[in-house]
A = this chain, B = another copy of it.
Amino acid sequence: MPQSTRSATLDAGPAGPGAGPDPTAAELTEARRRLATPERLRSFFAPRSVALVGASDSSGWGQFIVASLATSGFTGPLRPVHPTRPTAFDRPTVPTLRDLDEPVDLAYVLAPTRAVESVLEDAAAAGIRNAIVLASGYGDGGGEQGRAAEASLVRKAVELDITLLGPNCLGYVNAAASVAPFGLGIVPPLRRGPLGIVLQSGALTSNVLAFARAHQVGISLLTSMGNEAVITTADVVEHLIEDDDTEVIGLFLESVRDAPRFTRLAARALERGKPIVALKVGRTEAGQRTALAHTGALAGDDAVVDAAFRQFGVIRVGSLEQLLITSGLLTSGQVPKGRRVGVVTASGGACDIIADRSTDEGVRIVDFAEATTERLKAVLPPFAAAHNPLDVTGIILAERGSAQAGLGDMALEAVVDDPGIDFVFNMLALPAVEPPDPSTIERRVAQIATSTERSPVPIVNFTATCSDLSPYAQSLLDRNGLHVLAGIEFGLTAIGQALRWQETRALRPRPPSTEQAPAPAGIPSGPWSEARSRDLVAASGVPVVPAELVTDADAAVAAADRVAGPVALKICSAAITHKSDVGGVALGVHGERAVREAFERVRAAGRAVSDDIEGVLVSPMRAPATELFVGVTVDPSFGPVLAVGLGGVFIEVLEDVSLRLLPVDATEVRRMLGELRGAAVLRGPRGTRPADLDRVAEVVARVAAAAGGLGAALQTLEINPLRVDGDSVEALDVLVVAQDGKAVSAVSAVSAVSAVSDPDPAGS
C-alpha cells in the first residue's frame, strides 16, 4: 500500500485518544463545517463567474481549466488574474482579485503554495467566498512544514469565511450546471446525467471521465477532493444527497474519515433511495488491532468498513469499470426489482456464460411459462430450443435489411410478457461505425425501445464484452432512450449489486445514533469478573447458564448437589480473563470428593495469579451442541461493532465472522447468520437438530443491546460460547471489559485521529 499522498493536518491536532479535545480544534472543526453545508456547496458548485488566479498562457493547468470550462458549456465571465502579464487566455488580466470591478462567484487559485493565503485575503477583500486551491506540498507529503501550512490555510479560510476545495486538488466538473473549473483535459462531449462522483484522487478523474464517456454514463457533478482541508468527502456526499440533479452517488475512497457521519449519510441516502456505489481501496491492508479479547483481532479495519457498507446499502465495487457500470445501471431507469430473469441472446455460448455468472450473483434463470414457450416456438427456427436462457440462433443474421419485426424482436416481445420473470437480460451487438445500410440496426434498437416502454418489467441491455460504445452506437441508443451495460462479466455483477441494494433498503436498517450514550454511573474500568459480566447480560434478557458463586469447598459441594449431573467449576476474578490458561477451570466434575478437589485446585490456580479472587462459579455441564461466538468491540473509527461467528475452527482457523455496527435488531442478526460460511451448521447437518434462528437472533440482539447500554464505557463484551441446541440458546461464558468512559468523547475524538495518515506524535 502506498502511503496516502493526502492527509489532514487539522485532524492531527491535539485531540488524541485519551486526551480531551482541544477547544480551539473543536471550534475550528465546527466553523469549517459551516463553510461546507449543503447550502454553501450548492452555490460553490454552481458559480456564474470564475477568476483564474496566477496562471499565464504557458501554464498547462491554466490551459486545461480554460478548455474544461469551455467543454462544459460555461458562458459566464472568466477573469484571469496575474501580477505582471497584461493578458492571459485572450483576456485582459487584473493584477489581483482586489482589482476586479465586481466579485466573481469562484476563484480558482493556481498560485504557488507560499502565495495562496495572500490570494485568499485578496479574494475575501473582493467579496469572493469560494475558492479551489491547486497547490500541493501541504499535508500531501509536505512533511511537518506542509501540515503546519495546511492548518494555517484552514484557519485562514474560516477567518475569511471562504469555502475552499483542496489544496492539492484539480477542482470539479459540474455537468448539470455547465461549469467545469477543472485542471485536467475533458475529452468532449461531456455527458450530462444523474451520477454524482466524488474522488479522493486527482489523477483517476480522467480515467473515470473517459470510461463514463465510452459507456454512456452521464454525470451531474464530479469532484476531486484533494486534501479535504475544508470541504470533505462527507460534505460533498451530503450535498449530492440533497442535489436534485443527482440520483446515484459514486465514490473513490482511500479512507472513510469521520466514519459515524459517513454511516449516517449512507443511511440517509438509502432511505431517500439514492444508491451510493463505492470503490474503497485498502481492502487488503486491514491492520489487525491488538485487543484483550478475540473480537478486536477479528474486526480488522477493512472488515468493519465492509460491514458498515453492507449494513447501510453502500455498494462496494472492486474496480473502476465496475464503479461506472454499476452506477450506469442504477441511473438507467431499468433496475431489476427481483431475482428471476429471462435471458435473450443470439448466442448459445453467451447463454452458457450468463448462466454461470447468474448463479454467482443469485440471479435465477427460471423456466418460461407455457404461453411464452408456445409464442417462441412459433417464431424460432425448428432446431432452436424455446427455453430460458434463450438463444434465438444465428438465423438473426439472415434478417439483415428486413423492414418487418424480426425474430429477435418477436422473441423479446414474448419474453417480456412472461409472467414469471422480474426482468429481461437482453444481449445486443452494436456496430463500431454506422453501417452502409443502418435500417436493420435502427429498426432493431427502436423495437427494443418500444418493448421497453410497454414492458411490465425492466429490460437490461448488454453487450458481450466490455467494449467502448462507438459514437454511432451511443447516438443510436440515446435517440431511443436505451442504456447498455458493458459486457456479461461486469453487467451481471452490477445486477447482483443493484438487487442487494434493494434488499438492504427493504430492511430499513436503523441508522447509527448521532450521539454516543454516556457511560452509566459507577462502572469500573478494566476487565470484569465473570459473575459481574453474567449479571450484565442477564439483565438484558440474555439466557445464561445457571451458576453459583461459592467461596469455600462446602458451598461448592452444596451447589454441585443442586445440579443434576456433573458440574463445571471456574475461577471468578476480574484479574483473570483467560481462566483455562491458568488452570482455573475444571470440567465434568462429579461426586463430592471430586468437587472438593476441583474447588481447591481451581482456587489455588487463581490465587497463584491474583489476590483479587471473588470465588468459584459452579455450573451444570452442558452436552456438546453448536457453539457461537458473539462479541462487541469498539472500532476506533466506526464505534461499537457486533461480531457473530460459529465457534471452533470456524472462528479460530477460518475467521468466519459477520460484523455489524450497533444498533442492530433481530432481523439484521438473522441476515448476519446467513452470511457465515458455516451457516449450514445452524441448519442442522447430518441429522443434528437445526437451530431456531429466530431465537438465536433475538438473543444476539439482546447481547448487542447489553453492550450498547454501556455507552462510552464499552470496550469489549464477549460471549464465547453461546450454546445453541435447537431453540435452547444459552451463554456459557461471558466477559466484559470496560474503559473509562469519561475520559474520551470516544468515537468522535478517536476517529478524528484515525483519519490521519501521519498524526503528530507530540499531539497525542
Task: Say yes or no: B2 contacts A391, CB within 8 Å.
Answer: yes
Residue A450 CB within 8 A of the other chain: no
Task: Say yes or no: B214 contacts A468, CB within 8 Å.
Answer: yes
Question: Which A residues from 630 to 664 make CB contacts under 8 A with B?
Answer: 648-650, 652-654
Which residues of B sit under 8 angstroms from A142, Cβ to Cβ? 383
- Smallest beta-carbon distance A168→chain B, Å: 8
Which residues of B sit under 8 angstroms from A170, Cβ to Cβ? 394
Task: Say yes or no: B349 contacts A137, CB within 8 Å.
Answer: no
Task: Say yes or no: B678 contacts A347, CB within 8 Å.
Answer: no
Task: Say yes or no: B391 contacts A5, CB within 8 Å.
Answer: yes
Task: Say yes or no: A320 contacts B210, CB within 8 Å.
Answer: no
Task: Say yes or no: A353 contacts B320, CB within 8 Å.
Answer: yes
Contact indicator per residue, chain A 130-167, by CB within 8 Å of chain B (1) or not (0): 00000011001110001000000000000000000000
Q: A284-B356, A353-B279 are in contact. Are A348 and B5 (CB under 8 A)?
A: yes
Residue A397 CB within 8 A of the other chain: yes
Once the chains are docked, how many angstroms separate the CA of A283 from the CA of B3? 39
Task: Say yes or no: B2 contacts A387, CB within 8 Å.
Answer: yes
Q: List 5 A-B contacts (CB under 8 A).
A: A5-B383, A210-B465, A284-B359, A468-B468, A649-B678
Task: Say yes or no: B200 contacts A349, CB within 8 Å.
Answer: yes
Which residues of B sit under 8 angstroms from A2, Cβ to Cβ? 348, 351-352, 355, 385, 387, 389, 391
The 7 closest A-B pairs by CB, nearest first: A201-B349, A203-B347, A281-B352, A284-B359, A319-B489, A141-B383, A204-B349
Residue A288 CB within 8 A of the other chain: no
Given A211-B465, A254-B349, A321-B466, 18 new contacts (CB under 8 A)? A2-B348, A2-B355, A61-B397, A137-B382, A140-B383, A201-B348, A201-B349, A201-B350, A203-B394, A210-B465, A284-B355, A318-B489, A320-B464, A321-B465, A468-B468, A653-B678, A653-B680, A653-B685
Residue A403 CB within 8 A of the other chain: no
Of B1, B140, B283, B383, the contact of A137 (CB 8 Å cutoff): B383
Q: A203-B347, A281-B356 are in contact. Are A488 and B649 (CB under 8 A)?
A: no
Question: Which A residues from 465 to 488 make CB contacts under 8 A with B?
Answer: 465-468, 487-488
Task: Say yes or no: B254 contacts A467, CB within 8 Å.
Answer: no
Once the chains are docked, how many angstroms separate the CA of A359 from the CA of B2? 13
Task: Say yes or no: A353 contacts B319, CB within 8 Å.
Answer: yes
Of B184, B252, B348, B357, the contact of A349 (CB 8 Å cutoff): B252
Chain B residue nearest to A184 (CB atoms) is B397
Of B61, B284, B355, B652, the contact of A685 (CB 8 Å cutoff): B652
Chain B residue nearest to A679 (CB atoms) is B653
Which residues of B sit under 8 angstroms from A282, Cβ to Cβ? 352, 356
Once the chains are docked, how many angstroms separate the CA of A283 from the CA of B356? 6
Task: Say yes or no: A352 contacts B1, CB within 8 Å.
Answer: yes
Chain B residue nearest to A203 (CB atoms) is B347
Residue A369 CB within 8 A of the other chain: no
Task: Say yes or no: B488 contacts A319, CB within 8 Å.
Answer: yes
Task: Say yes or no: B652 contacts A650, CB within 8 Å.
Answer: no
Task: Say yes or no: B429 contacts A348, CB within 8 Å.
Answer: no
Which residues of B sit under 8 angstroms from A488, Cβ to Cβ? 319-320
Once the chains are docked, how many angstroms separate the CA of A498 from the CA of B395? 38
- Smallest beta-carbon distance A183→chain B, Å: 8
Chain B residue nearest to A433 (CB atoms) is B187
Residue A360 CB within 8 A of the other chain: yes
Question: Which A residues from 520 to 548 make CB contacts under 8 A with B?
Answer: none
Task: Say yes or no: B141 contacts A355, CB within 8 Å.
Answer: no
Q: A352-B1, A488-B319 are in contact. Are A400 and B60 (CB under 8 A)?
A: yes
Contact indicator per residue, chain A 1-35, by CB within 8 Å of chain B (1) or not (0): 11111100000000000000000000000000000
Which residues of B sit under 8 angstroms from A387, Cβ to Cβ? 2-3
Residue A608 CB within 8 A of the other chain: no
Residue A738 CB within 8 A of the other chain: no
Chain B residue nearest to A352 (CB atoms) is B281
Question: Which A residues from 413 to 429 make CB contacts under 8 A with B?
Answer: 429
- Smallest beta-carbon distance A319→chain B, Å: 4
Contact indicator per residue, chain A 176-214, by CB within 8 Å of chain B (1) or not (0): 000000001001000000000001111110110011001
Chain B residue nearest to A254 (CB atoms) is B352
- Smallest beta-carbon distance A381→chain B, Å: 8
- Smallest beta-carbon distance A501→chain B, Å: 21
Contact indicator per residue, chain A 275-318, by CB within 8 Å of chain B (1) or not (0): 00001011111000000000000000000000000000000001
